[in-house]
Amino acid sequence: MINRELVIIGGGAAGIAAALGAYENGIKDILVIEREYEYGGILQQCIHNGFGLHTFNEELSGPSYAEKYYSLIKDNECIEFMYNSAVTEINDKCVTVQSPEGVKKINAKAIILATGSRERPAGAIGLKGDRPVGIYTAGTAQKYLNRRGFLVGKRVFILGSGDIGLIMARRMTLEGAKVIGVAELQPYSNGLARNIKQCLEDFDIPLYLSHTVKAVHGKNRLESITLVEADEKLRIIEGTEQEIECDCLLLSIGLIPENTLIEEMGVVLDPKTKGAVVDDTYITSIEGIFACGNALHVHDLVDFVSAEAKRAGKAAADYILGNKKEGTCVKNVLGNGVSYMVPQSFHKGNEVEFCFRVNRVFKDCSIHVYGNGLDKKIRKMGIVPSEMQKVVLKKEEIEELDGELFWEVI
Amino acid sequence: MELVCINCPRGCHLNVEKINNEIVVSGNSCLRGKTYAVNELTNPLRVLTTTVGIESEYEERLPVISSAPLPKDRVMDVSKALKEVRVSAPVKMKDVIVENILGLGIDIIASKTINR
């Protein structure tokens, strides 16, 4: 049995920042367990630039962002990375690890989950038809191309307008593939406006809003798909079918926090975020178990993942050193238009950053937050579900709150 | 004319007008937005990110980036030219992989360190 102060599961953007946050707040015995042979997680295959504007005030590629952030803890004797190692179980505060040296059991005073997210696969949307070769999640295609140099198709259709799909539309076009189009079931895009511009419009790739793929065809290799229109209730409109020839279908239909490990422990998950329910110290419903980054809720920007994970690292340090925040928590109550809120509850006595998403498109609206001693409206030009919103409430603003804080978009 | 700024994830909606032969930009939240809009009308530019082959113990591709934005209509040519490029480890992040690519005055640089 090995004893460590803090164990962090996952050595991607969140894990690295959590380690830094814990170290800077007094923890000198940190183990980061990473299943790959290197740090950085998904950043290593995101070779496009646009990362780091908030953190480093410059635009970096994914691998560069990872390298630059890692350099802040490199050669730090208090932070050890254990590579090629997968955590198979957490039992109380003991983690079981499959490592190149065999199975190990490691006891920790606190554990931070920084396991990232996974892509929703074809099964998640009940895609009709056979399963010929040629249907991949956008991230899988990205890994093949950017890490291995394999182009997974020559005539490509993309379902879902998530950013990874848009990035792959450009990437595969530059590598010589023909990207025929992108279909999005919603009447609005789920990707960033800049990616619609630089990844689709730059290459004259059409974006079919209110469209989806009804069926896939092909026995061994994908041969075609059926594209169909959808109405405002997202139901297929019969009679609008069109066949599109393609040998590859990429799915960019959303990410789900990876929480298998803590789900088995009985940690309470939020049905909306699919991540753990946490307070403002990122502690889950089980003592000493923390969660951050995309494992907690799916972020738009890695910069926000790093910032959140650093705070989680500090919170875990405070917990280990006995400086845990005491007192009852104020609960967030979600009203009109608010899809989810992280953290779900919080302590008074410090400023708190709230992250949330709306459940539909709002134009010319206000974020209304109110409770005992607080009634605040924040004007917004427009809010879309694909953009995470952040509101910081100061210590003085939340001082008089009693049990609940109400949120709505009006 | 309306443009979406591609400089950062914020994606500002820019209004671009030509008044007396001068390009007037509004809706930008920083100076980069203005520069982008003017370039977009006169000489559109794009950063290229791609990979080149690498001889290494554990990696097959080296991610690279253009040292500055390239003329938009030359991005495809540069991407094609880089298909022939192969390097050997060790490579440090920011190492120049191809100097002055296609005579455009812009270098292609490594965006990752690969030691072995």
Supply the pLDDT for residue A125.
Answer: 84
Query: What is the arithmetic mean of pLDDT over B31-57?
Result: 92
Helices (H) and strands (E) in chain A, counts: 8, 28
Tokens coding A297? 């809720």
Interhelix angle A13-24/A302-320, rounded to 10 degrees, is: 40
Q: Is the pLDDT of residue B9 over 80?
A: no
Helix (H) or strand (E) holding A18: helix A13-24
End-to-end CA distance of chain B: 50
pLDDT at A83 over 80: yes
pLDDT the model gives residue B17 = 87
**Which site among B13, B62, B111 would you substitute to test the A interface, given the most A Cβ atoms closer than 10 Å to its Cβ?**
B111
Quickly list H helices, B59-101.
Answer: 75-81
Residues A2-42: tens digit of each pLDDT = 999 999 999 999 999 999 999 999 999 999 999 999 999 99
Look at the pTM and tell me if it is higher than 0.90. yes
Quickly state the pLDDT bin for A243 (edges 50, 70, 90).
very high
Per-residue pLDDT tens digits for A293-324: 999 999 999 999 999 999 999 999 999 999 88
Q: Which member of B50, B63, B72 has the closest CB to residue A63? A: B63
The per-residue b/e assignment along A312-345, b for 16 or more CB within 10 angstroms, e otherwise, is bbbbbbbbbeeeebeeebbbbebeebbebbbbbb
Tracing tokens 């950063």 back to the chain, one arrives at B47
In three-state secondary structure terms, A306 is helix
Q: Is the pLDDT of residue A177 over 90?
A: yes
Distance in Å, alpha carbon of A222 to nearest chain B alpha carbon: 27
pLDDT tens string A134-157: 999 999 999 999 999 999 999 999
User: How far does A303 lie from chain B, in Å, by closest CA?
Assistant: 11
Provide the pLDDT for residue A288: 95
Average confidence (pLDDT) over A183-202:
91
Write out the residues of chain A at the interface with chain B, using a CB-CB cutoff of 8 A: 37, 44, 47-50, 53, 59-64, 67, 145-149, 171, 174-175, 192-194, 196-198, 202, 300-301
Alpha helix segments (H runs only) across B25-102: 31-42, 75-81
Residues of B in contact with A53 (CB under 8 A): 8-9
Those residues whose C-beta lies under 8 Å from the C-beta of residue A94, and which sit 6 or more positions away, are A1, A105, A106, A107, A108
Contact A194 B53 (CB under 8 A): no
Mutate to test the interface with A, among B10, B29, B49 (most CBs of A within 10 A): B49
Q: Cα(A28)–Cα(B72) distance, rounded to whole angstroms? A: 49
Does the pLDDT at position B29 exceed 90?
Answer: no
User: Both tokens of residue A93?
Assistant: 């505060």
ipTM entry:
0.93
B62 touches chain A (CB under 8 A): no
Confidence class for position A386, pLDDT limits 50, 70, 90? confident
Radius of gyration of chain B (CA): 18
Does A130 score more than 90 pLDDT?
no
Q: What is the pLDDT of residue A33?
A: 98
Confidence of residue A272 (pLDDT cuts 50, 70, 90): very high
**Mean per-residue pLDDT for B10-37?**
87
Q: How many CB atoms lie within 10 A of CB A192?
A: 26
The answer to whether residue B93 neighbours chain A at the CB level (below 8 Å) is: yes
Of A13-17, A173-177, A380-384, the least confident: A380-384
Which is nearest to A344 in space by CA: A276, A249, A251?
A276
- pLDDT(B32) > 90: no
pLDDT surpassing 90 at residue A366:
yes
